[in-house]
Structure 1
Amino acid sequence: MRATKRTPAGDALSDLVLDLFRLNSRMLAAGDRLVAGLGLTSARWQILGAITAAGRPQPVAWLARDLGANRQNVQRIVNDLHKDGFVAFEANPHHRRAQLVVLTDKGKRAFEAAMRLQAPWINHLSDGLSIKDMETVHRVVTALRTKLEGSDEPDEQA
């Protein structure tokens, strides 16, 4: 069986993806350290952010969709946040079993505090980086995400 060779663009993207995996791990660890004193982790902070960004109460499945995450993982984190008083559940008038997730006052305060910590941290992290380069990376990542959305498996090209 003959192995298909990667194109130069495929090689470049493969290198980028490996670096993105490494960056993701470092960003999550740094985020965990940043918000640990608030009783949060990067994952919890991300869920609180998704709830805030939604603008209205949503069920876990919708939050997971908005995050591009696995519903079961989001449910586990939401359950932990609920146990610790950061979120509450409300009845969903459109679906009896899919409760709506809402921030409690404690959750709102924690998210706001996390964002106050994030601003100087992200400003420092961006020092010396070109805005144009960051915008280019953002466009590339967005284009890749768009190509991957809706696909559970990599495309197989013969």
Structure 2
Amino acid sequence: MPPLTPKAETFSALVLEVFQLNGLLLQAGDRLSAPAGLTSARWQVLGVIDHGPATVAAVARTMGLARQSVQQTADALASDGFVEFVDNPHHQRAKCVALTASGRRALRKVEQAHAAWADRLGASLPPALLAAAVEGVREARLRLEEDLTEAERSHEK
């Protein structure tokens, strides 16, 4: 592997930290959502459709995931009664995923646990450091989105 520039080393360190943080967040999310009969993945899907029914493809785009994995999660949620598939007024075949009353109760239970957890962890970090971390990760995400969009355009040519 060729040597990395200092900027590349720093960006790579950020990527590794985010990967590790993602793994830990999924573990914490599973722990927070388990009492409601959910997992992190299920919680995320319910959170997206809490704003209104959406197609699996739309949920996948919002979450940045593959449609197939969201379809599996939605099917499992439907099997457990947390969501239902409803007609889509914009498309005959692509149904929308909608919260059921049971799904809404489970989501609210997780949101309460999340609020207490986030308050506890947020209070353990200096506010300026936390704000700077959010801004830094947001900027890195935006640059990565731009880079991926440019790469897709180049690939299409």
Q: Secondary structure in 1 aligned to 2:72?
A: helix
Instruction: Give TM-score scaled by structure 1 length.
Output: 0.87
2:83 is aligned, of 72, 80, 87, to 87
2:106 counterpart of 1:107: no
Output the amino acid matched with 1:78.
A
Q: Which residue of 2 aligns with 1:32?
A: 30
Output the amino acid matched with 1:139.
E
What is the percent sequence identity of the aligned residues?
42
Instruction: Give TM-score scaled by structure 2 length.
Output: 0.88
Shift of 1:127: 2.4
Question: RMSD between aligned alpha carbons?
Answer: 1.8
Q: Which residue of 1 aligns with 2:47?
A: 49
Task: Select the structure that is richer in strand.
Answer: 2
Q: Which residue of 1 aligns with 2:155?
A: none
Output the amino acid matched with 1:20.
V
**In structure 1, C-alpha distance between the alignment counterparts of 2:43 and 2:52, rounded to whole Å:** 17
Q: Secondary structure in 2 aligned to 1:6?
A: coil
Q: Which residue of 2 aligns with 1:130?
A: 126
**In structure 2, C-alpha distance between the alignment counterparts of 1:32 and 1:135, rounded to whole Å:** 25
Matches within 5 A, 1:50-65: 50-52=48-50, 55-65=51-61
Shift of 1:35: 1.5
My pick for the range that moved more, 7-16 or 104-113, is: 7-16
Output the amino acid matched with 1:48.
L
Question: Unaligned stretches of 5+ in structure 1?
Answer: none
Q: Secondary structure in 2 aligned to 1:44?
A: helix
Runs of 4+ residues over 4 Å off in structure 1? none
**In structure 1, C-alpha distance between the alignment counterparts of 2:33 and 2:89, rounded to whole Å:** 34
Q: Which residue of 1 aligns with 2:66?
A: 70
Output the amino acid matched with 2:18.
L
